[in-house]
Structure 1
Amino acid sequence: MPLYQSQDIKIYNSISGEKETFKPINEGHIGMYVCGPTVYSNVHLGNVRTFMSFDMIFRYLKHLGYKVRYVRNITDAGHLENDADTGEDKITKKARLEQIEPMEVVQRYTVDFHNILNTFNFLPPSIEPTATGHIIEQIELIKDIIDNGFAYEINGSVYFDVHKFNETNEYGKLSKRKLEDLIHNTRELDGQSDKKNPQDFALWKKAEPQHIMRWPSPWGDGFPGWHLECTAMSTKYLGDRFDIHGGGMDLKFPHHECEIAQNEAAKGESPVNYWMHANMLELNGQRMSKTTGNIVNPQELLSGDNTFFSKAFAPSVIRFFIAQAHYRSVLDLTNDGLLASEKGFNRLMEAINLLDGLKTSDASSINVNNWKQKCYDAMNDDFNSPVLIAHLFEAVKYINQIKDESATITTQDLEVLKTTIHNFVFDVLGLQSQSSTTNNSNKSEDKLSNIVELLINMRQEARANKDFKLSDQIRDELAEIGIQLKDGKDGTTFTVN
């Protein structure tokens, strides 16, 4: 019997504002869509937190025995500056600034995105569609919305008619915003004169002559609206109605609100049963911002090459830190917080390493099955990872008591303890053991040593050929990156600063 049949999950549904008992549309199967990155820059640490939250949720649902189709898209066109209907495409702007092709930008930052997520031990999604790979589906979706009377074409662009839609539907039900309030708070902006109303949003935008990323359509050459892309990709792979849609809190309005409106306008039904939103990540009590300099990217946090933190932190320590806060709560990233998480992570791993050496007895003085269910109860309560971690540290206490012989455990209960800890620490939370981290670190150090030794040999060969310019260049450029060469009677050695 699959585990999910004995566990009742409650999910906080953003659209109702309440925790609801989770019931998938098709028993044993779950469709989950999460809005992925717009690949015009290195992935933001706040985005990593969001994707890490849904990676943990994906892992837990799979652990329970569900067959999960997890779709997380790549936005590689159509996302304009300031998340608006005017301005330059973010990817095109980056390409113009760097004087490269837009798809070079897409490739560079998609690779960066995957590398960072792999470093943090993410599971890959089931499907990772791109916006540019689904232009036909988006055009067909626009046709349906126009045919149903909820969109209009003007001067080669197509806009969603929010006022018309609101006559028979409720625009704003996810974000709890009333159209009347939006009208009152909206000012007319330059470049929006084509719209009937400022609240209307673009489904298809006419491409100006200088716009590089463009596709033919019934309305002329153009490109899709950002909101439309996710509606097309989610429904193509998960159906017109699916179980879970996730993303960051900042996407609730207008992005997810527009997704709901588009689907209802095209298909006549709301697309999602459970809307889930991960909260923001702050740095030292303030919002991360490039303009204020209050920002650190994932690679800087991993390498220690930043001014905010006293040292580098391992990926699993950062992952453990993030899991110590509920996904719906604001998380403040601080040096003290990471140092405390590192100590906690090490304590947890040290206890796990003791498991194989524990002695068993004829009777257990601890109730392992009760503790095991408490771990499940925590995750069943809207994926409450901080409460789960608190229960895992109860197990740390048990392990140390058994080691010190102040508590006893049977062979059978010890196996339950081992299996449960492994399931939740490694499979659900996605942490990696110290040995894995150490092995990876040792491999990296070995590779570095081999590379430096190769350069030392090249330098020696250059000196033997009296090519002192090359010899000095190798020494000086290694010094610039913190690798000091020292020549001695027994040869050349190096140190890393």
Structure 2
Amino acid sequence: MHLYQNQTLKIYNSLTGEKELFKPIHQGNVGMYVCGPTVYSNVHLGNCRTFISFDLVFRYLKHLGYKVRYVRNITDVGHIEDDADEGEDKIAKKARIEKLEPMEIVQQYAVDFHQIMELFNAFPPSIEPTATGHIIEQIQTIQNIIDNGFGYESEGSVYFDVVKFNKDYNYGKLSGRNIEDMIANTRELSGQTEKRNPQDFALWKKAEPQHIMRWPSPWGDGFPGWHLECTAMSTKYLGDNFDIHGGGMDLKFPHHECEIAQNEASTGKSPVNYWMHANMLTLNGKKMSKSTGNNILPREIFSGNNTILSKAFSPSVARFFIMQAHYRSILDFSNDAILAAEKGFNRLMEALDNLKTIKPSATSSLDIAAWKQSCYDAMNDDFNSPILIAQLFEAVRYINLIKEDKETITASDFEVLSKTLNAFVFDVLGLKKETENNSNNDKMEGLVTMLIGMRNEARANKNFALSDQIRDKLNDLGIAIKDTKEGTTFSIL
């Protein structure tokens, strides 16, 4: 018997605004699609929060015994700046600035993304399709939309007719927007001659002569619209109707709204039963932004090479920090917050070590079966990781009391406690013990600090040959040192 047969999972559905009982389309099987990264830059911590949140969903569904097909795409074409229809493709722009082929940019940042997700101990998806690998499917979807009367060609581009679609369906049902209000607010912008209405969005864009990323189509050389790729890839691998579609809150409109419209216009079916959206991560109370410098990359957290944090933090501590908030809540990242998360993480790991020293008794002073179910109740309530963590700390408190001979536990209850605690900490939350690594890191940090001290002494004595030799030897070992007004810092490359 699978665990899901005894557990009642509820998921908050963004489409209805309510928590709903989860019933997969095919018993024992779950189809889940999550919008992946646009690979034109290093993945930032806010994006990572979304992918870690859905890794938690993936892990818990697997823990319950579901067979999950998890599809997460890579956007490698078609994502125009500012999520618009006019302008430059984000990847093509980066390639132009760096004087590289667009696919070199894609490869560089896709590799970085996979490395970061591996450091965060996130499972890879079952399938990871790319937009450029599914041009044929996207052209077919566009043709279906045109054939059904909801798409039109204009000057070599193809647009989705939002007003016509809204007569038969409901455009705006996910984001709660009203088409009449949208039209009223954009009347002044109606000088866009190619479109029938300003709300219409691109399914296929004509490639200008200078545009590198282009493919032949029935409407001429061009490239697909950003929203289209997820429609084509999700339905190819999960069918016209599947269980869960996830992504960041910022994708609800226009991206996910347009996905629903494209699916309904193409197949006549509503594509997804449960829409899930992860909330954003702020930094020191403000929105993360590369342009303002209020931004931090995962590698900067792991190396300590940043101006925001007092020291380096391990990927597991950063993951634990993210899990301490519900995925639908705004989470603020700061030095104090991650320091507190590290203390909690260490307490949890220490308790797991203490399990090995516990001697069972003839009686138990805690109802272990009720505690175990409280862990499942937390996750069954829309994957409520902070409540789960609170329950895990109840077990930590109990373990510490047993160790002090203030509470007792039987051998059978001890087995349930140990098994449940390990399952939720490692299998569901996806945390990793890092005590050995941390001890080695501390030793290495001490060694590098000592060498920096020797280098500073050499510089003070004007022995620049020795100073440069220490710097170069450290650099050869993958350790970069940086001299600032405040002193010398180092980072691991």
TM-score, length basis structure 1: 0.90
* 1:22-63 residue CA offsets vs partner (Å, 9 max, x unmatched): 000000000000000000000011000000000011000000
Shift, 1:441, TM fit: 4.6
**One-letter amino acid of the structure 2 residue matched with residue 266 of structure 1:** S
Residue 470 and residue 228 in structure 1: after superposition, are their counterparts in 2 closer, same or farther (change >3 A)?
farther
**One-letter amino acid of the structure 1 residue matched with residue 378 of structure 2:** A
CA contact (8 A) 2:305 2:490 kept: no
Give the match for residue 384 of structure 1.
384
**One-letter amino acid of the structure 2 residue matched with residue 30 of structure 1:** V
Give the match for residue 157 of structure 2.
157
SS at match of 2:223: strand
Give the match for residue 236 of structure 2.
236
Shift, 1:482, TM fit: 2.9
SS at match of 1:482: strand
Shift, 1:436, TM fit: 5.8
Question: Is 1:175 matched up with 2:170?
Answer: no
SS at match of 1:378: helix
Which of 465, 472, 479 is residue 477 of structure 1 equivalent to?
472
**One-letter amino acid of the structure 1 residue matched with residue 149 of structure 2:** G
Give the match for residue 128 of structure 2.
128
- Where do 1:403-442 residues align within 5 Å? 403-435=403-435, 437-438=437-438, 441=441
**One-letter amino acid of the structure 1 residue matched with residue 370 of structure 2:** N
Looking at structure 1, the residues matched to 194 and 481 of structure 2 have their Cα atoms a distance apart, in angstroms, of: 57
Q: Gapped runs of 5+ residues in structure 1? A: 453-468, 485-494
**One-letter amino acid of the structure 1 residue matched with residue 354 of structure 2:** L
SS at match of 1:109: helix
Looking at structure 2, the residues matched to 121 and 479 of structure 1 have their Cα atoms a distance apart, in angstroms, of: 29
- Where do 1:240-319 residues align within 5 Å? 240-319=240-319
* 1:149-173 residue CA offsets vs partner (Å, 9 max, x unmatched): 0000011100000000001100000
Give the match for residue 201 of structure 2.
201
* 1:234-292 residue CA offsets vs partner (Å, 9 max, x unmatched): 00000000000000000000000000000000000110000000000000111011222
Looking at structure 1, the residues matched to 440 and 253 of structure 2 have their Cα atoms a distance apart, in angstroms, of: 41
Shift, 1:472, TM fit: 8.5
Give the match for residue 492 of structure 1.
none
Residue 318 and residue 236 in structure 1: after superposition, are their counterparts in 2 closer, same or farther (change >3 A)?
same
Residue 313 and residue 73 in structure 1: after superposition, are their counterparts in 2 closer, same or farther (change >3 A)?
same
* 1:281-310 residue CA offsets vs partner (Å, 9 max, x unmatched): 000111011222111111111111111111
SS at match of 2:336: helix
CA contact (8 A) 1:188 1:198 kept: no
Deviation >6 Å, runs of 4+: 469-473
CA contact (8 A) 2:190 2:198 kept: no
CA contact (8 A) 2:471 2:481 kept: no
CA contact (8 A) 1:33 1:71 kept: yes
Shift, 1:187, TM fit: 5.2
Q: Gapped runs of 5+ residues in structure 2? A: 452-463, 484-488
Looking at structure 2, the residues matched to 168 and 392 of structure 1 have their Cα atoms a distance apart, in angstroms, of: 50
Residue 421 and residue 215 in structure 1: after superposition, are their counterparts in 2 closer, same or farther (change >3 A)?
same
* 1:333-389 residue CA offsets vs partner (Å, 9 max, x unmatched): 011111111111111110110101101011111111100000000000000000000
SS at match of 2:71: strand
Looking at structure 2, the residues matched to 439 and 269 of structure 1 have their Cα atoms a distance apart, in angstroms, of: 55
Looking at structure 2, the residues matched to 129 and 46 of structure 1 have their Cα atoms a distance apart, in angstroms, of: 22
SS at match of 2:19: strand
CA contact (8 A) 2:12 2:19 kept: yes
CA contact (8 A) 2:11 2:382 kept: yes
Shift, 1:477, TM fit: 3.0
Residue 363 and residue 472 in structure 1: after superposition, are their counterparts in 2 closer, same or farther (change >3 A)?
closer
- Where do 1:105-124 residues align within 5 Å? 105-124=105-124
SS at match of 1:386: helix
Share of identical aligned residues, percent? 69
Looking at structure 2, the residues matched to 439 and 123 of structure 1 have their Cα atoms a distance apart, in angstroms, of: 26
Residue 421 and residue 188 in structure 1: after superposition, are their counterparts in 2 closer, same or farther (change >3 A)?
same
**What RMSD in Å do the two structures reach over aligned CA positions?**
2.3
Looking at structure 2, the residues matched to 209 and 194 of structure 1 have their Cα atoms a distance apart, in angstroms, of: 18
Shift, 1:228, TM fit: 0.3
Looking at structure 2, the residues matched to 440 and 130 of structure 1 have their Cα atoms a distance apart, in angstroms, of: 39
Looking at structure 1, the residues matched to 122 and 141 of structure 2 have their Cα atoms a distance apart, in angstroms, of: 32
Looking at structure 1, the residues matched to 99 and 490 of structure 2 have their Cα atoms a distance apart, in angstroms, of: 36
**One-letter amino acid of the structure 2 residue matched with residue 364 of structure 1:** S
Looking at structure 2, the residues matched to 112 and 127 of structure 1 have their Cα atoms a distance apart, in angstroms, of: 18
CA contact (8 A) 1:86 1:192 kept: no
